[in-house]
Structure 1
Amino acid sequence: MRLLGGVTFIDPEQTKTLNSMNDRKDAVGVPKVSVVINGEYDIFAVPGLTLTGRISCFGEAQADIANTQSIPGWTTVDAGARYSTKISGNKVTFRANIMNLANKDYWNSVSRSFITMGAPRTALLSATIDF
């Protein structure tokens, strides 16, 4: 089992802005807290098979310079698996992932001119070969 995570704490308060117009207001699109946790678990009964997961949490962020609008915080969960084997002497890895497992609607990011929606539930399949 492997776990890897990170937490970011940011004070997005602006200082020394032009004519002090936005001093003490939060920067656009910057959450105060974000957390990401990744995990992997090897299935010993099936050599080469690993289950994967990820939890992403982002706090509320301001959507405009005046701090009169904001996007709410959000949390998403991703899950997947990968299987590594050899085919004709070459290492091959197959991956299957489902992003945003709960199909949550959320605003992913914001800038001064637009807000983007987060991706809906998305299934991804891939294979890589080393030769």
Structure 2
Amino acid sequence: MRHVVFAALLACALPAGAQQDCPHASEVKQSHVVGLWRAEFDGQGHAGTLLLEKHATYSESFSGAINRSGEHRLLAGDVEDGEFTLEESADGQRIAATWLGEVVEGSCGREIRGTWTAEADAKNPRKFVLRKQ
């Protein structure tokens, strides 16, 4: 019994910064987006795995890569006021697709929903969901 009471007291004594923060969608920043994500397209299930990291040049942006079915593509983007923008490139020079979405409110920055559009097939955008792993 004393162990339970001690654990409860210890949990209450933790500083506020030590607790998990859950930002509103509009407060999500690059630091919340950095990490491993699972991408799904409507009706297709798993569409790839994204690794997003701090951008080497732009302090508020991120870059990374997506692996889907053995194909590797480069990514660069940002998130501002809950709006997520990501550009996908096969060669690091030309944009092959864009991901435009919004951080889902209440997801603590761990879910983004939007539309993926391939440059070669701009008339057929696909809905996506990104979930942080």
TM > 0.5 between the two?
A: no
Q: Give the TM-score normalised by the residue count of structure 2.
A: 0.27
| Structure (1 or 2) with the larger CA radius of gyration | 1
Q: Give the TM-score normalised by the residue count of structure 1.
A: 0.28
- The structure, 1 or 2, with the larger RCO (C-alpha pairs under 8 Å, 6+ apart) is 2
